Structure 1
Amino acid sequence: MKIVKRLLKIVFALIGLLVLIGIITLWVDSSGTNYLEINKNETASNNSYLIKKVNVIPMNQDTVLVDKMVYIKKGVIEKIADTIEVKGIEIINAKNKYLTPGLIDMHVHVWDRYELGLYLSNGVTAVRNLWGMPMHLRIKEDVMEENIFSPSFFTTGPKLTGSEFIGDDNLNLSNPSEAKDKVVEYKDRGYDFIKTYYGLDKEVFDAVIEQAKISEMDIVAHPSQKVPFSYHLNPQIKSIEHAEEIVQQPLQFDLDTLKLQAVIDSISASKHTSYSPTLTVFHNIYQMMMDDDILDSESLKYMNPLIKMDDSKRQFERWYNAKQEDPTTVERIKKQHDFHMNIVNKLHEAGVPIICGTDGGIGVTLPGFSIHTELAFYKEAGLSNYEVLKTATVNASRTHSMMNQLGTIEEGKIANLLLVDENPLFKLSSLKKPTYVFVKGRKLDRATLDSFNEKAKNRKNLIATALRYLENLIIEK
């Protein structure tokens, strides 16, 4: 018995030591993002400003309001006029630069807080995270309490899948009762939306939709192959993700424009469905096959190190091997990407609201930076600059009621804004490096934003990320 007691003591001591090491690791990683903390007592973190001599791109109409003044009061756009008299606040001379709504990325996967700075640096002032974990609820709380500089943060719960769709990144549902319970649970825990994924059959999907309506939770749908594609046009589903899902499911990989038009017409007829094409993440398959050294590229230094070591490497190896086994794969992927561009064009022509999403944070799709690639693809697909901007501003903000205070520059809206040197209605690339980013009225200058990039570059938080993912597996499984 004495030997058993000694062994137990050693085991408990080792467990205690591992827990302590884990706590220290997470604390060190948390302290590494202290630069995002808001000191509400400092004048520099004030959220009230008067901007003068600025050209406003309101995005509620295709126009420019020339040489205006904009009064931001406690994080909200108070007034827009030719002349505004306000005392006791900082005045910013915009010098005839352009003020636009901050960009919204409607499909991201956030792995750490460093990425919040990467999004802000690239002008993204709101994100919709589509793979919810406990750490995202903590981020959401800090953002809502204005403890950190961050894009406005919205998140789904864990991905809901069918019972046979195995993977540690999925929440497998086996029956309708369990499906309803999960929707209720995610609502109670503070998740904003429900995300449906592969493998949901009609019975379980019906239960998710029914309970989401009762619980007043919008659904974001990565289409399930167990039900017809048209099933995702239910009014409770506010957006459908990925242009490639149209190719893979209703078209069965047949790149036929006539068959496509029938699918587009059904989406348009629903009148309530937005579509997030995520062209960039699919095009990156082509990029991986064209660049054998992509994992060692300068840009990949901005990826979370655990994702780079695991997901980026696995995706690269998958497509590198596919190219070796069948060289025509490269051409096939490029043709499908080009067809996705056609999908965007047809969706737009049919009046379907397109919402900008990148799938940033997985594979080789960079957080923040990728939104500019995505917008450029929409331009290439035939949208005007104004129509492109709508996808990442007003269209996105209209998708969910809780986002309605974003997306345009109007009195009463939240002051998530960009000040840029040139008019993006003529030059989209002017959005890449804003002079100032305002997030809930708080001003971040270019030097600060550039420092966010440097802080995130080559970060050493692989173990901390793994621990947060382990927490997710323990709590959600």
Structure 2
Amino acid sequence: MKILKRLLKIVFALIGVFFLTIIITLWVDSFGTSYLRIDMTDQTSNNSYLISNVNIVPMHQDTVLVNKMVHIKEGVIITIADTIEVKGIEIIDAKNKYLTPGLIDMHVHVWDRYELGLYLSNGVTAVRNLWGMPMHLRIKEDVINDLIISPAFFTTGPKLTGPEFIGDDNFNLNNPTEAKEKVISYKSQGYDLIKTYYGLDKEIFDAVIEQAKISEMDIVAHPSQKVPFSYHLNSRIKSIEHAEEIVQQPLHFVLDTLKLRPIVDSISRSKHTSYCPTITVFNNIYQMMVNDSILDSESLEYMNPLIKKVDSKKQFERWFTAKQENPGTVDRIKKQHDFHITIVKKLHEAGATIVCGTDAGIGVTLPGFSIHKEMAFYKEAGLSNYEVLKTATVNASKTHSIMNQLGTIEEGKIANLLLVNTNPLVDLSTLENPTCVFVKGRKLNRETLDSYNEKAKNRKNLIASALMYFENLIIER
């Protein structure tokens, strides 16, 4: 009996040490991103001022409003005019630079709070996170309560898949009743949107759509192969993800523009559903195949260490092996990427609404930096600079009603803005290095933004990230 009691004491002591270690690890990780906390005594807390001598790219029309003033009060755009007089308020001289809406990345996977700074440093002032976990609800709450500097944060719940699509990153739905219960649960937990994924048959999908309508939740669809592609044009589905899914599902990997045409026409006729191509993430397969040292590149130092160690490595090994087994795979991937450019071109010509998303946070697709690569692909597809910028501003903001206060520079809109050196309607690259980023009116200068990059580089939070992921597995299972 004494031996048993001693063993129990040892077990309880080890359990205590284990949980204490978890608490300390998460506390240290939280301290590591303390630079994002809002200190109401410092200058970044000032969200009321005038901006003078500024050229405005409003994005609800293709124009530049020259030499204007903007009054921002408590993070909201109050007045835009030639002359504004407000007593006792700070005046920021823009020195004839250009003011644009902040960029919106409509398809990201956020793994830690360091990435929030990476998005801001690249001019991304709103993100739509498409793989929800409990940690994302905590980020969302802190953003809403103005506790941290962050892009506006919108998130789906965990991915909903069919019963046979097994994976620790999916929630498998087995019947319509379970589907409805999950939508209700995600709404009550605080998730903004529903994400549907592979393997949903018509019966289960119908249940998700029905309950999403009742619960007033929009759906973001990674197309399911169990229903026709046109099924995803339901009015409750506000965007369809990935150009590659058009190739893989309705086209069955046949790169044929004639067969593409009716698919594009059906999407363009659906005025309530946008398309999010995420060309960058597929192009990065090609980049991995032509660069054997990509995992050791400096750019990968910005990836979350858990993702880099697991997902980045896994994807690289998969495509390296495919290349070794069949060298023609490299050319096949490149041709499919080129066809994705054609898809964007045809969607645009048909009048479909395109929204900019990168799938950042998986493989070797970098948070923040990747949006500029994505927009460059849209430019390659034939969109004008204004049309490209629309995909990451006004188009994105119109996708969901909860995002309507973003995306343009108009009176009454939230002051999520970029100040850049030159006119982006002439040179999109100016967006890569904004002089200032405004988040809910709070001004972040270039020095601060550069510091966000440095703090995220080679961060040592692998264990903390694993614990966050483990938390999701426990809760969702």
TM-score normalised by length of structure 1: 0.99
1:156 maps onto 2:156 in alignment: yes
Tell me the equivalent position of 1:437.
437
Structure 2 matches for 1:127-142, cutoff 5 A? 127-142=127-142
Name the CA distance, whole Å, in 1 between partners of 2:43 and 2:92. 14
Name the CA distance, whole Å, in 2 between partners of 1:390 and 1:35. 31
Give unpaired runs (5+ residues) of structure 1.
none
Task: Kindly state the Cα deviation for residue 43 of structure 1 after the two structures are TM-superposed.
Answer: 4.0
Letter aligned with residue 376 of structure 2: A
Task: Kindly state the Cα deviation for residue 87 of structure 1 after the two structures are TM-superposed.
Answer: 1.6
Q: Look up the SS of the partner of 2:99 in the other structure.
A: strand
Tell me the equivalent position of 2:122.
122
Structure 2 matches for 1:423-434, cutoff 5 A? 423-434=423-434
Tell me the equivalent position of 1:335.
335
Name the CA distance, whole Å, in 1 between partners of 2:65 and 2:102. 17
1:96 maps onto 2:92 in alignment: no
Tell me the equivalent position of 2:285.
285
Letter aligned with residue 337 of structure 2: H
Letter aligned with residue 129 of structure 2: N
Name the CA distance, whole Å, in 1 between partners of 2:445 and 2:219. 36
1:406 maps onto 2:403 in alignment: no
1:190 maps onto 2:190 in alignment: yes
Deviations 1:245-293 (A, max 9, x none): 0000000000010110010111112221100000000000000000000
Tell me the equivalent position of 2:219.
219
Letter aligned with residue 18 of structure 2: L
Q: Contact conserved, 2:44 with 2:444, CA < 8 A, in 1?
A: no
Tell me the equivalent position of 2:256.
256
Name the CA distance, whole Å, in 2 between partners of 1:269 and 1:164. 33
Name the CA distance, whole Å, in 1 between partners of 2:474 and 2:3. 31
1:68 maps onto 2:68 in alignment: yes
Tell me the equivalent position of 1:210.
210
Tell me the equivalent position of 1:378.
378
Letter aligned with residue 132 of structure 2: G
Tell me the equivalent position of 2:9.
9
Name the CA distance, whole Å, in 1 between partners of 2:178 and 2:220. 19
Give unpaired runs (5+ residues) of structure 2.
none
Task: Kindly state the Cα deviation for residue 16 of structure 1 after the two structures are TM-superposed.
Answer: 1.2
Q: Look up the SS of the partner of 2:407 in the other structure.
A: coil
Name the CA distance, whole Å, in 1 between partners of 2:160 and 2:8. 39
Q: Look up the SS of the partner of 2:455 in the other structure.
A: helix
Name the CA distance, whole Å, in 1 between partners of 2:453 and 2:406. 25
Task: Kindly state the Cα deviation for residue 175 of structure 1 after the two structures are TM-superposed.
Answer: 0.6
Deviations 1:332-357 (A, max 9, x none): 00000000000001111111110000
Deviations 1:313-338 (A, max 9, x none): 00000000000000000000000000
Tell me the equivalent position of 1:396.
396
Letter aligned with residue 382 of structure 2: G
Q: Look up the SS of the partner of 2:158 in the other structure.
A: strand
Name the CA distance, whole Å, in 1 between partners of 2:42 and 2:114. 23
Name the CA distance, whole Å, in 2 between partners of 1:22 and 1:368. 29
Q: Look up the SS of the partner of 2:157 in the other structure.
A: strand
Q: Look up the SS of the partner of 1:157 in the other structure.
A: coil
Tell me the equivalent position of 1:421.
421
Tell me the equivalent position of 2:301.
301
Query: Is the deviation greater in 39-48 or in 301-310?
Result: 39-48
Name the CA distance, whole Å, in 1 between partners of 2:295 and 2:174. 38
Tell me the equivalent position of 1:178.
178
Letter aligned with residue 50 of structure 1: L
Tell me the equivalent position of 1:358.
358
Q: Contact conserved, 2:156 with 2:192, CA < 8 A, in 1?
A: yes
Q: Look up the SS of the partner of 1:438 in the other structure.
A: strand
Q: Look up the SS of the partner of 1:430 in the other structure.
A: helix
Q: Look up the SS of the partner of 1:434 in the other structure.
A: coil
Name the CA distance, whole Å, in 1 between partners of 2:203 and 2:390. 36
Deviations 1:47-84 (A, max 9, x none): 01201010000000000000000111100000000000
1:459 maps onto 2:459 in alignment: yes
Name the CA distance, whole Å, in 2 between partners of 1:239 and 1:5. 59
Name the CA distance, whole Å, in 2 between partners of 1:164 and 1:40. 50
Deviations 1:217-238 (A, max 9, x none): 0000000011110110000000
Tell me the equivalent position of 2:473.
473
* 1:14–1:103 Cα change, 3 Å: same
Task: Kindly state the Cα deviation for residue 91 of structure 1 after the two structures are TM-superposed.
Answer: 0.7
Tell me the equivalent position of 1:86.
86
Deviations 1:195-218 (A, max 9, x none): 000011111100000000000000
Tell me the equivalent position of 1:270.
270
Tell me the equivalent position of 1:323.
323
**Identity across the alignment (%):** 81
Q: Look up the SS of the partner of 1:92 in the other structure.
A: strand
Letter aligned with residue 218 of structure 1: D
* 1:443–1:13 Cα change, 3 Å: same
Name the CA distance, whole Å, in 2 between partners of 1:224 and 1:16. 44
Tell me the equivalent position of 1:53.
53
**Number of residue pairs the alignment of both structures matches:** 477
Task: Kindly state the Cα deviation for residue 10 of structure 1 after the two structures are TM-superposed.
Answer: 1.6
Name the CA distance, whole Å, in 1 between partners of 2:43 and 2:221. 43
Name the CA distance, whole Å, in 1 between partners of 2:44 and 2:260. 52
Letter aligned with residue 240 of structure 1: I
Deviations 1:350-371 (A, max 9, x none): 1111000000011000000000
* 1:86–1:195 Cα change, 3 Å: same
Letter aligned with residue 241 of structure 1: E
Name the CA distance, whole Å, in 1 between partners of 2:364 and 2:289. 12
Deviations 1:441-462 (A, max 9, x none): 0000000000000000000000
Question: What's the RMSD between the two structures over aligned residues?
Answer: 0.7
